[in-house]
Structure 1
Amino acid sequence: MKISRIARVAAIGAVASLALAGCAANEGDAAVVPSEEPNETTLSGTISATGASSQTAAQEAWQAGFQLTHTGATVNYEPTGSGTGRTNFQEGASNFIGSDRAFNDDEIAAGGFGACLTDDIVEVPLYISPVAVAFNLDGIESLNLDAETIANIFAGNIATWNDPAIAEDNADVDLPDTAITPVHRSDPSGTQETFTTYLKSAAGDVWEHDPSDEWPLSGGEAAQGTSGVKQVIDAGVGTIGFLDASQAGGFGQVHIEVQGEFVAYSAEAASALVEGSPLREGRGAGDLVFDVDPAAAPAGAYPIALVSYLIACEQYEDANTAAIVKEYFAFMASAEGQAAAAANAGNAPISEGLREKALAAIDLIQVG
Structure 2
Amino acid sequence: MKIKRHGAAFGVVAVGALLLAACGTDNNSGSSGSANSSQPASSINCAGGTLTAAGSTAQSNAMSQWVKTYENKCNGATVNYQGGGSGKGVQQFQQGTIDFAGSDFPLSSSDQPAADSRCKTGPAIDLPMVPGPIAVGYNVPNVTQPLNLSASTLAKIFSGKITNWNDPAIAKDNPGVTLPNLGIQTFHRSDGSGTSYNFSNYLANEAKADFPFPANKNWPAPGGQGSNGTQGIAQGVKSTPGGIGYMELSFATQSQIPYAKVGNAAGKFVELTTDNVKNFLAKAKVTGSGHDLKLDFDYTNGDADAYPNLLVTYEIVCASGNDSAKLPLLKSFLSYLASPDGQSPLAGQGYVPLPTELATKITDSVNSLS
Could you say whether these structures have the same fold, taking a TM-score greater than 0.5 normalized by the shorter chain as the test?
yes
- The match for 1:359 among 338, 341, 363 is 363
Can you list the C-alpha shifts for 1:38-85, whole angstroms capped at 9, x where unaligned?
xxx763222111101111111111111212321321111111111111
Task: Give the AA of the match of 1:160.
Answer: N
User: Number of residues paired by the alignment?
Assistant: 341
Can you list the C-alpha shifts for 1:172-193, whole angstroms capped at 9, x where unaligned?
3221111110111111111101
Q: 1:101 to 1:9 in 2, by over 3 A?
A: closer
Aligned residue for 1:253? 259
Q: Output the CA distance in 2 between the equivalents of 1:73 and 1:294.
A: 41
Task: Give the AA of the match of 2:232.
Answer: G
Aligned residue for 2:94? 90
- The match for 2:326 among 312, 318, 321 is 321
Aligned residue for 1:340? 345
- The match for 1:132 among 115, 130, 135 is 135
- The match for 1:350 among 338, 350, 354 is 354
Identity %: 32
Q: 1:305: Cα distance to partner?
A: 1.4
1:10 equivalenced with 2:15 (yes/no): no
Q: Output the CA distance in 2 between the equivalents of 1:304 and 1:216.
A: 17
Verify the 8 A CA contact 1:125 1:289 in the aligned structure 2.
yes
1:67 equivalenced with 2:74 (yes/no): no
What pairs with 1:149-168 in structure 2 (closer than 5 Å)? 149-168=153-172
Q: 1:229: Cα distance to partner?
A: 1.3
SS for the counterpart of 1:231 is: helix
1:104 equivalenced with 2:108 (yes/no): yes
Any unmatched runs of 5+ in structure 2? 9-29
SS for the counterpart of 2:126 is: strand
From the CA coordinates, give the structure whose radius of gyration is larger. 1
Q: TM-score, normalised by structure 2?
A: 0.86
Q: Output the CA distance in 1 between the equivalents of 2:334 and 2:279.
A: 24
What pairs with 1:200-219 in structure 2 (closer than 5 Å)? 200-219=204-223
1:287 equivalenced with 2:312 (yes/no): no
1:262 equivalenced with 2:266 (yes/no): no
Q: 1:350 to 1:42 in 2, by over 3 A?
A: closer
Q: Output the CA distance in 1 between the equivalents of 2:4 and 2:58.
A: 16
Task: Give the AA of the match of 2:37.
Answer: I
Q: Output the CA distance in 2 between the equivalents of 1:190 and 1:174.
A: 34
Verify the 8 A CA contact 2:106 2:314 in the aligned structure 1.
yes
Q: Output the CA distance in 2 between the equivalents of 1:109 and 1:317.
A: 17
Q: Which has the higher helix share?
A: 1
Q: 1:187 to 1:9 in 2, by over 3 A?
A: closer
SS for the counterpart of 2:231 is: helix
Any unmatched runs of 5+ in structure 1? 20-29, 33-40
Q: 1:195 to 1:46 in 2, by over 3 A?
A: same
Can you list the C-alpha shifts for 1:68-120, whole angstroms capped at 9, x where unaligned?
32132111111111111111111101111100111123433565442x34232
Q: 1:148 to 1:330 in 2, by over 3 A?
A: same
Task: Give the AA of the match of 2:263.
Answer: E
Aligned residue for 1:119? 122
Aligned residue for 1:35? none
Aligned residue for 2:187? 183
SS for the counterpart of 1:125 is: strand
